[in-house]
Structure 1
Amino acid sequence: MSAPGQPLVTIAVPTYNRAATLERTLASALGQTHRELELVVSDQASTDGTERLCRALAAADARVRYLRQPTNAGGSTANFNLLAAELRGPYAMLLADDDWLQPDYVERCLRLLVERPELAVAYGRARYFDGDRHVADGRLHDHLEEAPAARVTTYYRTVDDNGVMYGLMRADALRGALPMPNVLGNDWLLMGRVAAAGKIATIERTHVDRAVGGTSASVEKIVQTFGISKLQARLPHLTVAWQVLADVGWRSPAFASLPRAQRLRTALLSALGAINWRSLAYHAFGPLIERAGRLPGLRWTSRALAAVRRRFGGDGVLTPPPGEADR
């Protein structure tokens, strides 16, 4: 449990120039049925109304800590990493500045973590919204294998939208997974490391609600936000697979307890599991088909590509709500 005077749960929100969505995010955190929590907002020198909003909330509610960084250096990855030192409670979670929590989210996730000490993460299943319209559900993440290597490989076979990153975690597991490198797929690397630290379970009766169209709306937008090479957007799943191979295989200390041969095998299986082959094919051949569709007599190829994307998606990021795929 928490030490006297310290919160039981820390909710950490990195933000930059998102005042329009941040107010709903923070209200959902402060409105949790579990009240013994602290809300820490790290603002990378926003130039909109973010500072005014956060200072007003901090003045009105002692549970709010507002940290204003002097610059936006390092982008969103640096801001996530800065929050590692601010996790004062034994349980912690990250919350994006355009997402919001159901009122019982922390209460339900915390109850499961207390009841099951083998869990590193309790995750209320993500739901995705376009405005007020529910458009998709995140993947279920139940990685309950006893062996860390097995949990890591099943995580990478499962992940797509990675809403599980916004589950409630044991703070030690989250700290042990940070810092995130500023590379494509870094949120997957983070949760692969957490999976090595402990089991992960999904609660389907509560949700973290996420707005589509943010940083994760497309690979190109992620590349632009992170400030990394546009070349990585050409075959993003191969880029991510390489990052997974390196992170699990030799780069991250989170996997150091695995025997060398097992670690390399886990890295290879994880990297292969991280590849969305449908998305890989789309990114590899989609631009060629689009260019061909501009030629006389081949315009049907562009129409066919558009139909395929409407039916199956391009990046392969979201899972349709139950029943929608059959309609």
Structure 2
Amino acid sequence: MAFDDTLVSVGLPVYNGADRVEKTITSVLAQDHRNIELVICDNASTDRTEEVCRDWAATDARVVYHRQPRNIGQLPNFSDAIRRSRGAFYRWAGDDNWLAPDYVSRCLEVFARDERLLLVTTQQAYTGPDGTTRTAPYTGTGYLSDDPVDRFAESLRMLNEDPFAMDPLYALMRRTRVMAVNRGPALLREDEIFAARMALAGPWGHVPEVLAGRDWEPQRLADIARKLGAPAWHVRVSTLIQCRELLRALGEVELTSAQRRRGRALVARMYVRRHGTVAVRRGRKLAGLVTSR
């Protein structure tokens, strides 16, 4: 099946991105797939974001601009962008993102070859504050499995081993199928939880080339919690909360008893591995304090 004339929506949630957002808008509108819709959800910005985006909407009919009456929070604004979109396929884009001109068309080629696919990822470039760009290839096959727990296992593996290989939240998706996946509440690591839920929901394809990029800077969990509106105490038990939500995700899909046991064992191993790392780190710190006296 070809998707040459299919409407593809890009949702751009933004807050105070006047100095960055035009690069993203330009790259979306430069796609060689011509049937594009860009839906901008402005979370009540206080800078020139509204002016910049309204200018684009006035000059290009493909741009739809919506301004929230008040700041509704980061995650609700992201969710509003996909709800306001009309395309059969959808991609979120941050205000610091860029897409190669053939990004959409290359992803659609992968969808056309496999009707099972929920989404298609690509290799991405991540640019740090010092201008250094990092990227990593993805060579796995777990996301293509028909077994949802195989895909779930691959999701947990990638989150813990190589976060630069892909970012499934910034993939091209089948919009209505992804909207049916429970996004869950605003929690620390909610993006990782949502990625695991999408892995359970269907197979993923991949284009092994750098077709997109974004800025990247390490952030403290406390800062992320503040942006999401999550309680500060979540920082201390973030892994426990994440594992609880992953177990809940396994309970939301149809699995055999054996699959469910395997999925729960994967979550348990992740919890032990992360807390084992913390224990080793704390032990080394304690040893350093003892020897320094």
- Give the alignment's TM-score, normalised by structure 2: 0.84
The 1-side partners of 2:158 and 2:110 are apart by 22
CA contact (8 A) 1:153 1:266 kept: no
SS of the residue 2:19 aligns to: helix
1:117 — aligned with what? 115
Q: 1:94 to 1:283 in 2, by over 3 A?
A: farther
SS of the residue aligned with 1:133? Answer: coil
- Of the three residues 218, 242, 255, the one matched with 1:258 is 255
How far is 1:99 from its partner? 1.7
CA drift at 1:148: 1.9
Tell me how far apart the structure 2 counterparts of residues 280 and 43 of structure 1 sit (CA, whole Å).
41
Percentage of pairs with the same residue: 28
Note the C-alpha offset of 1:33. Answer: 1.8
Q: Quote the residue 2:63 is aligned against.
A: 64
- Structure 1 residues 157-181: Cα deviation after superposition (integer angstroms, max 9, x where no partner): 2225361211101112211124442
Distance 2:60 2:6 in 1: 14
Measure how far apart 1:138 and its partner are.
5.2
Q: Is 1:176 aligned to 2:176, yes or no?
A: no
Change (3 A) 1:275 1:87: farther
* Partner secondary structure for residue 191 of structure 1: helix
Q: Is the 1:105–1:206 Cα contact (8 Å) retained in structure 2?
A: no
Counterpart in the other structure of 1:14:
13
2:201 paired with 1:205: no
Query: Aligned pair 1:297/2:292, yes or no?
Result: yes
Residue of structure 2 equivalent to 1:306? none
CA distance in 2, matches of 1:195, 1:22: 30
Counterpart residue type for residue 47 of structure 1: T
| Equivalent position SS for 1:207 | strand
CA distance in structure 2 between the partners assigned to 1:149 and 1:119 by the alignment: 16
Structure 1, unpaired ranges of 5+ = 299-327
Q: What value does the CA root-mean-square deviation take over the aligned residues?
A: 3.1
Residues 246 and 267, structure 1, Cα contact 8 Å, conserved in 2: no
User: Of 193, 198, 206, which residue of structure 2 is paired with 1:189?
Assistant: 193
Counterparts of 1:91 and 1:169 in 2: how far apart (Å)?
5
Write the mapping of 1:228-247 to structure 2, written as runs, cut at 5 A: 228-247=230-249
Partner of 1:33: 32
Aligned residue runs from structure 1 range 87-166, under 5 A: 87-131=85-129, 133-137=131-135, 140=138, 142=141, 143-160=143-160, 161=163, 163-166=167-170
Secondary structure, in 3 states, of the residue corresponding to 2:46? coil
Secondary structure of the equivalent of 1:17? coil
Question: What do residues 161-202 of structure 1 show as CA deviations (whole Å, max 9, x unaligned)?
Answer: 361211101112211124442112211222222222221122
* SS across alignment from 2:180: helix
Q: Is the 8 Å Cα contact of residues 137 and 208 (structure 2) preserved in structure 1?
A: no
Tell me how far 1:276 sits from its aligned partner.
Answer: 8.7
Gaps of 5+ in 2: none
**Bigger mean CA deviation after superposition, 44-53 or 265-274:** 265-274
**What is the alpha-carbon distance in structure 2 between the residues aligned to residue 139 and residue 178 of structure 1?**
29
Deviation (angstroms), 1:246 = 2.2
Secondary structure in 1 aligned to 2:186?
coil
1:288/1:134 CA distance change after superposition, 3 Å: same
8 Å contact kept, 1:236–1:280? no
* SS of structure 2 residue aligned to 1:109: helix
Question: 1:55 aligns to what?
Answer: 54
Which of 210, 218, 221 aligns to 1:219? It is 221
Q: CA separation in 1, counterparts of 2:280 and 2:41?
A: 38
**One-letter identity of the residue aligned with 1:45:** A
Task: Report the alpha carbon displacement of residue 93 of structure 1 after superposing the two structures with TM.
Answer: 1.0
Name the CA distance, whole Å, in 2 between partners of 1:279 and 1:99. 33
* Letter of the 1:241 counterpart: C
User: Alignment length, in residue pairs?
Assistant: 286
CA distance in 1, matches of 2:272, 2:208: 24
**1:15, CA displacement in angstroms?**
1.3
Aligned equivalents of 2:271, 2:76: Cα separation in 1: 26
How far is the alpha carbon of 1:286 from its aligned partner?
Answer: 5.4
Does the CA contact (< 8 Å) of 2:16 and 2:47 recur in 1? yes
State whether residues 11 and 39 of structure 1, in contact with CA within 8 Å, keep that contact through their aligned partners in structure 2.
yes
Mark the CA change 1:224 to 1:136 in structure 2 (over 3 Å): closer, same or farther: same
Partner SS state of residue 26, structure 2: helix
